[in-house]
Amino acid sequence: MKIKNVEVFPLEFPLEYPSQDATGVWDNWSTVIVKVTAEDGTAGYGEVGPLHGGGLPAVTGLIESRLKRLVIGEDCFQREKLFEKMVGRGTSAYALGPVGAAVSAAAGIDIALWDLAGKLLDTPVYNLLGGLVHEKIPAYASGFFGIKGRALTAEECGEEARQYRDQGFRGVKMKIGFGYSQDMANLEAVRKALGPDLGIMVDANQCFDYPDLMGHIDGYKAFDLTFIEEPLRINDLYNMANLAVNAGVPIAAGENYYGKYQFRDVLEHHAVNIIQPDIIHAGGITETKKIAAMAMSYDIPLCPHIHASVAVSAAVQMLGSCSGSLAAEYITSGGSYDLRCRLCPGSYMVEDGYVPVPDAPGLGIEVDERVFEEYYPKWM
Ligand SMILES: [Mg+2]
């Protein structure tokens, strides 16, 4: 079956007020939905995002001007070959680099091709990945974003944690890196709200240096953390490996690495205890399944970064088919949840702390294309 067309739909979802973590601030939630249509009219969907803070023209331009012509007319089942054609030797990687936007743009097409293959074969993507291992995935609530130019207060953190507890989540992930005393107050409020049995993960978004964090590590460890995410600059594999040995808390990272070679280096350096590929940044399903296989050979569990709309379902299919799966990230704030509920109603809904793996063909979602026009950026 040949690929007849590739279309891109940039979407910009405005936020009520700017959102932030320890190292970034954004005032809109943007993403690009990719639609790949086969010659029989069957369509698969992928996504390149999040692009909070900009980048829509870069991604749409990459696909429209470069990647699209590489795949139209090709066999839609040849995902491995087409990924190489987009990102392999002598291709986009030559002029645009082997990591970053070029990989994410190719991932958008790749995810759509997996959705398309599942639909054409009338089977869920997990059956193309080796079959179902987990019918449902434990979900942890991820949020605690700063608002209006400031970190959340301890009281606000406690309130958000109580909401997640009452919704049935098994654990929460909160932002840290807003100053040691603020972090301690926030953690204290969250632990108090959750009680001793639910998990607390923290995400530093790369804000610490090794000596700073080691100087305060006992304070953070006192809250019985499940893991610390991106504690240092993600390219400082040397010190991440030191942390993994000396911190006494599991180290997690992955959302800012691209492609199997970067992930191989992370694993080879023993820089993480838990691996968190973002299925878009990592290079789509084709590349992430290789990353998951590598991680399993190190007994490193898979706990992907999940913060998108259509591509969320790709991560769920991956988690459902991987024996090394740990948990699914579940974000209900910051725009991505609202946009996803509009685009793919009923998809990726948490039930009693678990996300079921859908068994409909492809990614198992229905995309409402009427939403594309509503959120098309007026300035593009
Ligand atoms: Mg993170």
Contact (Cβ atoms closer than 8 angstroms) between residue 320 and residue 63? no
C-alpha of residue 232 to centroid of ligand 1, in Å:
12
C-alpha of residue 329 to centroid of ligand 1, in Å:
10
Q: Answer yes or no: is 167 within a domain.
A: yes
Domain count, the chain: 2
Taking the chain (380 residues) in runs of 10, the rounded mean pLDDT of each run is 98 88 87 98 96 89 95 98 90 79 96 98 98 98 90 97 96 97 98 97 97 97 98 97 97 97 98 98 98 98 96 97 97 87 93 96 97 93
Beta pairing partners, 36: 6, 44
Within a 13 Å sphere around the CA of 55, how many CA atoms are in the beta-carbon half? Answer: 18
Q: Tell me what pLDDT residue 116 has.
A: 98
Contact (Cβ atoms closer than 8 angstroms) between residue 107 and residue 281? yes
Q: Answer yes or no: is 380 within a domain.
A: no
- 195, 313: one domain: yes
Give the list of residues 6+ apart from residue 115 with CB closer than 8 angstroms, or none.
44, 45, 46, 125, 314, 362, 363
Distances (CA, A) of 319 to 74, 108, 290, 312: 29, 18, 13, 11
C-alpha of residue 303 to centroid of ligand 1, in Å:
11
Alpha-helix runs per DSSP H in the chain: 56-62, 68-71, 79-87, 92-96, 101-121, 125-128, 154-167, 180-194, 210-221, 237-246, 259-268, 284-297, 310-320, 336-343, 370-374
Length of the chain, in residues: 380
Which CATH number belongs to the domain containing residue 341 in this structure?
A: 3.20.20.120
C-alpha of residue 203 to centroid of ligand 1, in Å:
6
Distances (CA, A) of 119 to 40, 124, 216, 234, 321: 12, 8, 51, 37, 17
- 102, 182: one domain: no
DSSP single-letter state for residue 2: B
- 109, 177: one domain: no
C-alpha of residue 231 to centroid of ligand 1, in Å:
10
C-alpha of residue 85 to centroid of ligand 1, in Å:
30
Q: Answer yes or no: is 361 within a domain.
A: no
- 167, 296: one domain: yes
Q: Answer yes or no: is 363 within a domain.
A: no
Residue 83: which of 63, 54, 61, 103 has the closest Cα? 103
Residue 255: which of 32, 35, 5, 49 has the closest Cα? 49
C-alpha of residue 317 to centroid of ligand 1, in Å:
20
Token look-up 């390219």 returns 235
C-alpha of residue 305 to centroid of ligand 1, in Å:
7
C-alpha of residue 96 to centroid of ligand 1, in Å:
25
- 134, 71: one domain: no
Contact (Cβ atoms closer than 8 angstroms) between residue 249 and residue 272? no
Residue 111: which of 254, 281, 304 has the closest Cα? 281
C-alpha of residue 174 to centroid of ligand 1, in Å:
9
Q: Answer yes or no: is 379 within a domain.
A: no
Q: How far is the C-alpha of 354 from the C-alpha of 341, rounded, in Å?
A: 17
- 94, 131: one domain: no
pTM of the model: 0.97
C-alpha of residue 205 to centroid of ligand 1, in Å:
6
C-alpha of residue 149 to centroid of ligand 1, in Å:
19
- 172, 303: one domain: yes
C-alpha of residue 301 to centroid of ligand 1, in Å:
16
- 213, 279: one domain: yes
C-alpha of residue 58 to centroid of ligand 1, in Å:
23
Q: Tell me what pLDDT residue 333 has.
A: 83
C-alpha of residue 25 to centroid of ligand 1, in Å:
14
- 220, 87: one domain: no
Q: Tell me what pLDDT residue 97 has.
A: 79
Q: Tell me what pLDDT residue 189 has.
A: 98
C-alpha of residue 230 to centroid of ligand 1, in Å:
7
Which CATH number belongs to the domain containing residue 87 in this structure?
A: 3.30.390.10
- 119, 141: one domain: no
> Reduced to 3 states, what is the DSSP secondary structure of residue 238?
helix
C-alpha of residue 315 to centroid of ligand 1, in Å:
15
Q: Answer yes or no: is 228 within a domain.
A: yes
The residue range of the domain holding 290 is 127-356
- 156, 242: one domain: yes
- 163, 107: one domain: no
